[in-house]
Amino acid sequence: MAAGKPPARGRAVARERVVDPVREAALAVLAGLDEEAVPAGGLIEHAESSFGRREDRALFRALVGAVLRHRSRLDAVINALLDRLPVAELPPPIRAALRLGAAQLIVLDGIPAHAAVDTSVELAARHGHRGTAGLVNAVLRRLGREGRARWEEWDRLEADDPVETLAVRHSHPVWLVRRWAIRWGLAETERVLRWNNAIPDYWLRLKPGATGPPGAAEGWIPGTARLPAGSHPAEQPGFSAGEWTIQDGSGILVGLLLPDVRGLVLDLCAAPGTKTGHLAERAIAGARILALDPSPGRLRRLARGLARQGGAARRAGPAEDGSVRTLLAAADGRRTPVRPPWDSVLVDAPCSNLGVLRRRVDLKWRAREDEILRLATLQSELVMAAAAGCAVGGHLVYSVCTMEPEETLEQRDRFFATHPQWMAAPLPEAVPMEARGREGEMLLPPGRFETDGGYAFLARRGESGA
């Protein structure tokens, strides 16, 4: 049949299934995450890069984000309409098709109901069979009529176990909600859960002398700007020119904790490099910053970020002209490749990341409570290695993007109990008084200061035995 010519009257023509590529990509990512407990960031970035239009990238992010943020509550609403298997026991692609359809009908605004249903049925047919397509069709058509009412019931529901109710209402794992409720109480826990499910805005760390992008507001942290959720700061010319770096306020404060950045400064867990770049911006002429990470691939990404910011990333060589040099080395921070002493050290340690769930929404479904203790052991080893080679009068910053006691308060207690030559050091003025704990200690509960959650302490090495 010639292109553009309509079929002859009365002639049967088989309809080829055409699946929306944005929703197809969203299903692939969600089904893949269900099958393998891997970080979503790389999968999302790879899939998103295939779309040329900003509108398609935005829809893809909105679809995946809505399902990951609200998965438990979506499942509860869907399960009420399933007669046999719950949604979690369906094949991953069919599970993802149901969740995608439900998210469009209930959570996201501006998507016509027929588009949400039809595209999800097409996905179920393509990745399943006629029966699964019929199941998805039946469930979503009912959700089109009843979904929002069923969703809103969870805001009023009072169950025998309030922790389990909060876990479903705000889509967090029960073990984590219970852990927080014991420590913070139900009201504060629910505040944090709401914060975690909000679509994040942007903090920008401005290069000295630079201004923020058009429409940005001044941040309360010195040298920062703010943009609302839905902005695109990485797509503006100033980003590629290195005028600003996208970094949450909690991380920016960590980069301000060292009183000065001079001599040899170690960044023991440097990738992805936002804090490394901040140290380089603050460094005094002649300083060397040694950025360590065990992954060569992550170091390459770090080097690209430093190049964008206008920093020189080198693998060796002191600065003969008095300029600042950032040196990169693929190494485990517990076994530093340079001889001591060093003048200061940042230990931005691997952690559970439970303070940044607003930005890493998939982590809710990958995190495990037993990982906290394993990470706490690693953190202690890193701090001991960092402190062992630090010069007298030098400073150590320990930071994590979590609030769990094993990774925060207990790390500080253990460090000072076993290192009598170290003392707590005063924090800079940029840290709000309300965010200060004991001397040298910064506590940032998620959302309390318009930042993600984080913890840090600052210590100074005195004379031996002091």
Q: Please identify every residue annotated as catalytic.
A: 401
Number of C-alpha atoms within 13 angstroms, CB side, residue 367? 24
Alpha-carbon Rg for the chain in angstroms: 25
CB neighbourhood size of 228 (10 A): 12
- How much of the chain is helix, strand and coil, in % rounded to 5? 45, 15, 40
Helices (H) and strands (E) in the chain, counts: 16, 13
Euclidean distance between CA atoms 187 and 209, whole angstroms: 42
Of 271, 365, 358, the C-alpha closest to 313 is 271
Of 117, 156, 163, the C-alpha closest to 140 is 117
Euclidean distance between CA atoms 44 and 66, whole angstroms: 13
Euclidean distance between CA atoms 450 and 94, whole angstroms: 37
CA distance between the termini of the chain: 90
Euclidean distance between CA atoms 177 and 280, whole angstroms: 39
Of 131, 22, 152, 14, the C-alpha closest to 84 is 131
Euclidean distance between CA atoms 163 and 173, whole angstroms: 10
Euclidean distance between CA atoms 295 and 348, whole angstroms: 16
Of 384, 369, 436, 454, the C-alpha closest to 414 is 384
Euclidean distance between CA atoms 66 and 68, whole angstroms: 6
Burial label, 114 (beta-carbon count in 10 A; 0-12, 13-18, 19+): exposed
Euclidean distance between CA atoms 321 and 265, whole angstroms: 18
- Residues forming a β-bridge with 83: none
Euclidean distance between CA atoms 247 and 223, whole angstroms: 12
- Read off the tokens for 337: 């490749």
